[in-house]
Structure 1
């Protein structure tokens, strides 16, 4: 399973480094800004549909008197004019002081920052610690937004991680024309993440909450939405993407490898473009030592995702968080040097940008970038490997995928296509209730009687002992003015269930002699 210490590592490592980032115009890992400036704002809001605090504090036992709804402090990066005074990295750190409790006083925030500075000084020395805190970023607080609509990216932090753990990536994407939103990875009821199914579902709900909030932003093009995230966040966004078809693309940084944590993710509903960037491959010995089960891996089982799988050889798990990478000490770099690891992070961001350009905006350069090998794109030799696993052809084995195939090939082919989908995935089954409800929806909502007849016929083929489906087919026959077929199907329904009063009544009505014509 994913080691929780990987997530905790970044909770306080929210500092910036010197080096390449100090050069004008370039960011961390020599990232180059795009054509836009970057605006940044903090929005303190609650998800009132979910509780966060219990009635009594779990530590003191005293009644909790504050707001009990779930806090979702939201960081927003967006395209803006290139003007204004940019933030210091300390400004990002400061947002962490209020990411769970919004009403903290200035004195409390100052104490929080003093603690962070003291910790940094103990790690790198007082002078360098101050330099790290003072480093200028690209974003300008509350800058005016550039006119226009821009695709949305929702970033999910690693388990327990701060919303700004990937501030460099978020700024980079915003400078290239994306609206990016992130919130802290909070546990279900405490600041500490609970690494269980409930905690996973909680973060997936946070992602959908941010998507809902994006609808309020004039700049946000909510017809083009991607989710991105690292580690636990990379798993949570896969879950969200499998649950919400409004998400058009998925980016995961070194998450979802572990079997037990991916059970909640529907393999068939993960049918979208997916960029998966992982750390260096582990040996069989390392996998065995970690107790990793390799026989069932989401990456291999998500056959309906258009998967771009990139391996960054210099990177370790924590290196996907620049909050951690910025303060990594010398002993962290073993097989690869710091410049090599930062270069790998640079290319991780570049792959993310080109993937989003290709799949949200449909740009030819983005697609061409993905179609080339890493070496052809200028990635240093032996740094990266890329595999493209195109989505499996044929209908996606869900009712929606089956319906899409019927809409394309015709509902008259329902049984043939159903068998085809079952050959692709034997687990695909539509129940009697599914088919019965679908048929009536086609009649009452879609007003498509021929399609409804086809679905009811499919139901009677699949469930020849279902009196209810034969009864429904008889009703559809009546609507189609096919009395002979209606009589046949009502009789069959009554044979299967002699107590079916509807079939009895309809047979009496349809079998009654026609009323005599009045004499002239």
Structure 2
């Protein structure tokens, strides 16, 4: 009798275990064929405030404000974190849980009203993204389609116990976090990355502003979020990367320019490689392209505004380019996978969006593993590319030899004199860098020398000899070369530079209209005085 009970209990246990869903990728269609890593994935959301700023209301994509009560505790941040976790811990989730969080960006309380609002927001945004590709089809997701997505099991588990150790951090800003980038975040976390998503906001509402100021505000948001992540014991803050889509890629570029902490940057179908967003970035006094020295992966597809040529000036970064000819910008978000469940969810594509999305994610992981974890090999080697027919073009632009930073160059002047600055310049040229110092460098170094270091203008004149050697077609450089030559009473040299400055002024695209007017006035006055 006891033996019978024993076997019955064992059989019952086996039946129970057989009915339990194990965390293998086969049980999660939302992950497609992505090769998941060794880790179970945990998920948590931090609701926090920046007490140094005011609270802001929620704004939809059209700019409509929803003046529901907002906290007086400060600027609101919803920070979503995926991380390597211990197996069999945490609570199972559905994709509905990610969509529900869309309704808690500024008002953190959870309610049925907010869930309804979040789901309608998802429907509206999905329709708007579809209309970008298909202006004739105004259909929204119907209830059955929405429920199909809401009911999908997700790989991550809520509040799972973190795995032992510290892991590299990938921060992924997106305006509809976490519903749009969750698959990528779970995939990276399963391979040993703490992946962080948040929605950059504007000055006065939750909607990010498409302007130079908007980029600067978003960078401030990003750095605040990183500060909160740094408090996590499993986050390795010495290995931080940025992954960004659409205009958030320019937020990433601005952040990398300002902060050397970032070790890798991925522009995932980002507008960073467009003339428009380059203009936004260049409008910021904080943005210095020469400070971008971290490896960059550009994943891009056909678009009239997108061209790799707009990143050719980032010469101190190793740049890797992969062109996906049959994918679009937002198919690189979760929608690329959702097309498998709801065909043409954001419009028809000539290629397979699921395979394109999976290929892009594998390439992202490969890039991070090589740049962050030090794995050997070439990013686009034959073994990887042979089965990835979603990509038709790849190329690499290696970085040029980098100059020392400004602090080192100032210290070099004091310890070794200006001769050492000229030596550094010539050494970099001999190593293949035709313009060793940036235009911004000459302005900053000139102004630094002006304060009690160069009373007879000798060093500034020599500085602009170097500048002219690199930028002979710059009206501004010619003007200052003339000005400092005149100060040293090298009048014939000054005349030549002033004349060149005036002849180049009108066509110099680096000068604004007011700058051209000012330069013409000063150069003409100085030249006339020399001709008397």
TM-score (norm 1): 0.68
Measure how far apart 1:211 and its partner are.
Answer: 1.6
Q: 2:320, 2:396 within 8 Å by CA — same for their partners in 1?
A: yes
Match of 1:257 in 2: 273
Measure how far apart 1:323 and its partner are.
Answer: 4.2
Structure 2 vs 1, CA of residues 391 and 99 (structure 1 numbering), >3 Å: closer, same or farther?
Answer: same
Structure 2 vs 1, CA of residues 278 and 65 (structure 1 numbering), >3 Å: closer, same or farther?
Answer: closer
Q: What is the correspondence of 1:111-510 to structure 2 with a 5 Å cutoff?
A: 111-112=116-117, 115=120, 123=140, 125-157=142-174, 160-255=175-270, 256-263=272-279, 264=281, 265-279=287-301, 281-282=302-303, 287=304, 292=305, 297-323=309-335, 326=338, 329-330=343-344, 334=348, 336-337=350-351, 340-364=352-376, 368-373=377-382, 376-381=384-389, 383-395=391-403, 398-399=405-406, 402=409, 413-418=420-425, 423-425=435-437, 427=439, 428-429=441-442, 430-435=444-449, 461-463=458-460
| Segment drifting more, 239-248 vs 327-336 | 327-336
Structure 2 vs 1, CA of residues 189 and 346 (structure 1 numbering), >3 Å: closer, same or farther?
Answer: same
Matches of 1:342 and 1:399, distance apart in 2: 46
Unaligned runs of 5+ in 1: 1-20, 440-455, 467-520
Q: 2:70, 2:106 within 8 Å by CA — same for their partners in 1?
A: no
CA RMSD, 1 decimal: 4.0
Structure 2 vs 1, CA of residues 117 and 266 (structure 1 numbering), >3 Å: closer, same or farther?
Answer: closer
Match of 2:101 in 1: 95
Equivalent in 17, 31, 35 of residue 34 of structure 2: 31
Structure 2 vs 1, CA of residues 237 and 172 (structure 1 numbering), >3 Å: closer, same or farther?
Answer: same
Q: 1:76, 1:182 within 8 Å by CA — same for their partners in 2?
A: yes
Matches of 2:388 and 2:68, distance apart in 1: 58
Match of 1:5 in 2: none
Matches of 2:117 and 2:192, distance apart in 1: 33
Matches of 1:63 and 1:387, distance apart in 2: 50
Task: Tell me the SS of whatever aligns to 2:51.
Answer: strand
Matches of 1:69 and 1:240, distance apart in 2: 23
Matches of 2:241 and 2:345, distance apart in 1: 36
TM-score (norm 2): 0.67
- Could you give the per-residue CA deviations for residues 410-434 of structure 1, whole angstroms, max 9, x where no partner exists? 9973332145668434613153553
Q: 1:73, 1:184 within 8 Å by CA — same for their partners in 2?
A: yes
Match of 1:80 in 2: 85
Structure 2 vs 1, CA of residues 241 and 118 (structure 1 numbering), >3 Å: closer, same or farther?
Answer: closer
Measure how far apart 1:32 and its partner are.
Answer: 2.2
- Could you give the per-residue CA deviations for residues 287-333 of structure 1, whole angstroms, max 9, x where no partner exists? 3xxxx497x95411111111011111221112112147525643866
Structure 2 vs 1, CA of residues 330 and 432 (structure 1 numbering), >3 Å: closer, same or farther?
Answer: closer
Task: Tell me the SS of whatever aligns to 1:310.
Answer: strand
Task: Tell me the SS of whatever aligns to 1:32.
Answer: coil
Matches of 2:99 and 2:306, distance apart in 1: 37
Matches of 2:242 and 2:194, distance apart in 1: 12
Q: 2:56, 2:106 within 8 Å by CA — same for their partners in 1?
A: no
Q: 1:163, 1:185 within 8 Å by CA — same for their partners in 2?
A: no
- Could you give the per-residue CA deviations for residues 8-32 of structure 1, whole angstroms, max 9, x where no partner exists? xxxxxxxxxxxxx983266434112
Match of 1:43 in 2: 46
- Could you give the per-residue CA deviations for residues 182-221 of structure 1, whole angstroms, max 9, x where no partner exists? 1123222112332111111121111111221121010011
Task: Tell me the SS of whatever aligns to 1:95.
Answer: helix
Structure 2 vs 1, CA of residues 317 and 405 (structure 1 numbering), >3 Å: closer, same or farther?
Answer: farther
Q: 1:182, 1:210 within 8 Å by CA — same for their partners in 2?
A: no
Q: What is the correspondence of 1:10-29 to structure 2 with a 5 Å cutoff?
A: 23-24=26-27, 27-29=30-32
| Segment drifting more, 116-125 vs 415-424 | 116-125
Unaligned runs of 5+ in 2: 1-23, 58-62, 128-138, 282-286, 429-433, 464-532
Q: 1:166, 1:323 within 8 Å by CA — same for their partners in 2?
A: no
- Could you give the per-residue CA deviations for residues 451-475 of structure 1, whole angstroms, max 9, x where no partner exists? xxxxx69997513799xxxxxxxxx
